[in-house]
Amino acid sequence: MDDTTFLGFAKEDIKNAYSTVFENTWPLWLGGVFMGILVLMVFLWNFPWGVTGGYRNWIEWLGYVVKIKGEAPSLSPLLHPVSAGNAGIIIGAIGSALMSRQFKWQVASGREYLKGIIGGTLMGTGVAMTGGCLGGAFYSGIGVFSLGGFTMVIGVMIGAYLGLRLVLWEVESLPPSKQRIAKEKKGGFDWKKIHPAMGVAVFALAIAIMYVYSYFDEAKIGGLCLLGVIMGLVMHRSRFCFVRVFRCPLMTGDAEMVKTACLSLTIYALGSAVIKWSYLQPDTMGVYHPVGLGTIGGGILFGTGMILLGSCASSALWRMGEGNTKIIVGLFAFSIANSVARTFFLEWDLYAYFGPSIFIPEVLSWHVTLPLYALFFVGWALLANWNEESEKFVIF
């Protein structure tokens, strides 16, 4: 370093930090640790983390605005807690993608869009049964000691297997789909040059939003949005995606995301035990995932759909933020299917058949639950590691 003044030193330091955060992909486990901490903050701040309610709020508002739906949802998207968190994740991912120069409109082939619509529809219907997506029912479900989180694992595993079989059939039986890429414009202004500056502006805007909410006495919603922004950054930089927990052991044998999920869930569950056991929040808060048909049947639909879409509902937020158009199309289908299926299940009183929600420590006590959790995570990680070597569960 030539410049040994404080300013010269600080400039070099900032350059190195920028490179670490935005030019190198973060290790997945680091994303898992950050996510575990962030979801605990969301839990303490308001309620266990989830994303589906936000999508439903948006589509139901859209339905109301275009006069398909007669009644407006009770909360505006600006004041809906899950909607605010989701918006935060998208904003954080856009900022992160811009600062790392990875923002790019990604167009797909026609068949990929069709798969996105079918996948989104299956996922949206499945989520209406499970009571949440992989973020809200699997991750938060297990994190807040809801037995439905575990039964969803069974359903999603089966669904992931079926989904992979479907795409393998596509590869082996159908002619390749017509390839498309977004053309880079020749000449004109090179927007990529100013992407990092635009990213800084996006993050500055996100902080300003928090102050606006606080000014209007809605700091709780503003806080959820800000936590979402940090989640968007973390998920984008580490490419954190729950689909990989279920897909990779069957497709390539890769165990990295399973181990990351186990690590992240250990942090989530430990923090959640502290919060619940000490009644910082009600102990049954967030426990609403039906054990039985709801999480297993819904999980199968969701698992099949997520392979076709190539994303779960939470990672779709950051993939949208980096310009993935297939995901945007798929999410429209997801939101519509979720709203329609939920209305149908409510009108026909079908939720009664989906199974009860069970708070594990209420049945087993905290003293038994916590060691069982530790055994489960260690066992799952060991099984995934063994499968990575032996490829016992890899299907092709």
Partner 1 sequence: MSDVVVDKVLDLRGLTCPMPLLKTKKELKGMKAGQVLEVWGSDEGSKKDIPDFVNKKKHEFISLEDVAEGYTKYLIRA
Binding site for partner 1 (CB under 8 A): 25, 102, 104, 106-109, 112, 164, 167-168, 171, 176-184, 239, 247, 251-252, 254, 256, 307, 310-311, 322, 324, 326-327, 388, 396
Residue 195 vs 247, nearer CB to partner 1: 247
* The two structure tokens encoding residue 250: 């069957």
Q: For partner 1, which is the closer residue by CB, 167 or 383?
A: 167
- Least gap, CB of 333 to partner 1 (angstroms): 15
Work out how close the CB of 82 gets to partner 1 at its nearest, in angstroms, rounded to a whole number: 25
- Shortest separation between residue 186's beta carbon and partner 1, angstroms: 9
Closest to partner 1 by CB, 295 vs 324, is 324
Q: Over the chain, what HEC string results?
A: CCCCCHHHHHHHHHHHHHHHHHHCCCCHHHHHHHHHHHHHHHHHHCCCCCCHHHHHHHHHHHHHHCCCCCCCCCCCCCCCHHHHHHHHHHHHHHHHHHHCCCCCCECCCHHHHHHHHHHHHHHHHHHHHHCCCHHHHHHHHHHCCEHHHHHHHHHHHHHHHHHHHHHHHHHHHCCCCCCCCCCCCCCCCCHHHHHHHHHHHHHHHHHHHHHHHHHCCCHHHHHHHHHHHHHHHHHHHHCCCCHHHHHHHHHCCCCHHHHHHHHHHHHHHHHHHHHHHCCCCCCCCCCCCECCHHHHHHHHHHHHHHHHHCCCHHHHHHHHHCCEHHHHHHHHHHHHHHHHHHHHHHHCCHHHHCCCECEHHHHHCHHHHHHHHHHHHHHHHHHHHHHHHHCCCCCC
Shortest spacing between CB 112 and partner 1, in angstroms: 6
Q: How far is the CB of 325 from partner 1 (least distance, A)?
A: 9
Task: For the CB of residue 320, give the shortest distance to partner 1 in the complex, in Å.
Answer: 12
Task: Output the smallest distance, CB 326 to partner 1, in A.
Answer: 5
Cβ 335 to partner 1, closest distance in Å?
19
Chain centroid to Cα 381, Å, comes to 21
The rounded distance, in Å, linking the Cα atoms of 83 and 224 is 9
Of 11 and 192, which has the nearer Cβ to partner 1?
A: 192
CB 379 within 8 A of CB 259: no
Q: Which is nearer to partner 1, 180 or 392 (CB)?
A: 180
- Closest to partner 1 by CB, 11 vs 180, is 180
Among residues 60 and 388, whose Cβ is nearest to partner 1? 388
Cβ proximity to partner 1, 16 vs 25, nearer residue = 25
DSSP lists the bridge partners of residue 357 as 290
Instruction: Please say which residue, 324 or 338, places its beta carbon nearer to partner 1.
Output: 324
Beta-ladder partners of 324: 106
Least separation, in Å, of the C-beta of 61 and partner 1?
A: 28
